Amino acid sequence: MKPFKLNVFVVLMLSALMFVQCKDDDDNGNVIDLISCDDGIQNGDEDGIDCGGSICPPCQGDQLNFDGNFIQEDIAGRPGVNIIFGITDLSKNNYNVSEVANRTIFQEDFQEVLKNYYDIYAISLDIPIAFENNILHWNAETFTTIMSNYDALQVAPDGPTTYYDATNNLTFTGRYLSDDVMSFTLALMFGGADGTRFDGNNGTPQLTTDAVGPGDRDFTLPFPYLEDPLTQE
């Protein structure tokens, strides 16, 4: 190839490059969208068929896939029941996958655990001590039966909510955020007939309260009633 012809070829090739661009707008509006909000299938980042994600309108419940069988892994009713009365880790796992109405098998273990708490202090103090009927007049069996067999919050639709209100002689009409449920539970466990049996006074162990209150938490907020998340590290 002669130098002249080679130069023409190179110029032509370079000139041709001027007509090449990366932007693909040569369909003049006839682009076939791979993802659209009316193609009848779930694609792109859609949460359901033609809905949700970054482009489409939010999904309504009937546009999403909620199929499947869901099996219980955890459950909670009254505060602290599994933590305080679960006798072994296996037992606690079993409790979490049991039905509320089918808990009679746990009652004996719960009562044994209650006895164990007392045994620790009986040995430590070198005096024979055992559970005595609590402020609700429950003996150990009744107490642990209510904890095991009736482990739900009772919430009264008519009337104020309280987990325990000594002033108004009201119990178990729900659980408000501010209720000191753990201290009340401890008082039922260790307080005896007047709730003060092992309250730390007169040389007794302090077992009827953990001496922790809500601190600076604000429980006066409107819905959703809970404070914003803490942001400080």
Partner 1 sequence: MKKTKLFAIMGGFSLLMLSFIFMSLDHIDATNVAGTTSDIADFYAFEGDNPDNTVFVVTIQGILAPGVVTENASFDEDVLIEFNIDNTGDFVEDLVIQAIKRGDSIYFFGPSIPNQTGLESDVLTSAANHIVQISTIEETFITNEDGMSFFAGPRRDPSYFDFNRFIDIANGIAAPEGFYPPGESTDFFVGLNALAIVVEVPNLLLGAAPQHILESQGNINGLPPAYNVWVSAKRKQ
Site for partner 1, residues 17 to 76, rule: CB under 8 A: 47-48, 52-53, 58-62, 64, 66-76
Task: Note the residue count of the chain.
Answer: 233
Q: Report if residue 128 touches partner 1, rule: CB under 8 A.
A: no
Answer for which of 37, 161, 165, 196 binds partner 1 (CB under 8 A) is 161
Compare residues 33 and 227 and give the one whose CB is closer to partner 1. Answer: 227
Q: Pull the structure tokens for residue 178.
A: 């501010």
Answer for which of 4, 157, 167, 202 binds partner 1 (CB under 8 A) is 157
For 171, which DSSP code? Answer: E
94 closest CA partner among 84, 104, 81, 106: 106
Q: How far is the CB of 107 from partner 1 (least distance, A)?
A: 12
Backbone φ and ψ for 182, nearest 5 degrees, come out as: -70, -40
Compare residues 35 and 182 and give the one whose CB is closer to partner 1. Answer: 182
| Cβ(206)–Cβ(196) below 8 Å | no
**With b meaning 16 or more CB within 10 Å and e meaning fewer, what string describes 10-42?**
eeeeeeeeeeeeeeeeeeeeeeeeebeeeeeeb
For the segment 98-127, give every residue that binds partner 1 (CB under 8 A): 98-101, 116-117, 119-121, 123-126
Q: How far is the CB of 175 from partner 1 (least distance, A)?
A: 5
Cα distance between residue 218 and residue 233, in whole Å:
20
Cα distance between residue 225 and residue 175, in whole Å:
13
Q: Report if residue 130 touches partner 1, rule: CB under 8 A.
A: no
Compare residues 3 and 224 and give the one whose CB is closer to partner 1. Answer: 224
Q: Rounded to an integer, what is the distance from CA 116 to the centroid of its chain?
A: 29
Compare residues 39 and 180 and give the one whose CB is closer to partner 1. Answer: 180
Answer for which of 33, 57, 88, 130 binds partner 1 (CB under 8 A) is 88
One-letter amino acid identity for 160? P
For the segment 201-230, give every residue that binds partner 1 (CB under 8 A): 205-207, 209-215, 217, 219, 222-230
Q: How far is the CB of 44 from partner 1 (least distance, A)?
A: 12
Answer for which of 138, 141, 165, 196 binds partner 1 (CB under 8 A) is 138
| Cβ(143)–Cβ(134) below 8 Å | yes
Q: Which residues contact 113 (CB under 8 A, 6 or more apart)?
A: 84, 85, 86, 87
**Candidate ranges 8-16, 18-26, 31-39, 198-206; the one touching partner 1 (CB under 8 A):** 198-206
Q: How far is the CB of 95 from partner 1 (least distance, A)?
A: 7
Cα distance between residue 112 and residue 163, in whole Å:
25
Compare residues 36 and 79 and give the one whose CB is closer to partner 1. Answer: 79
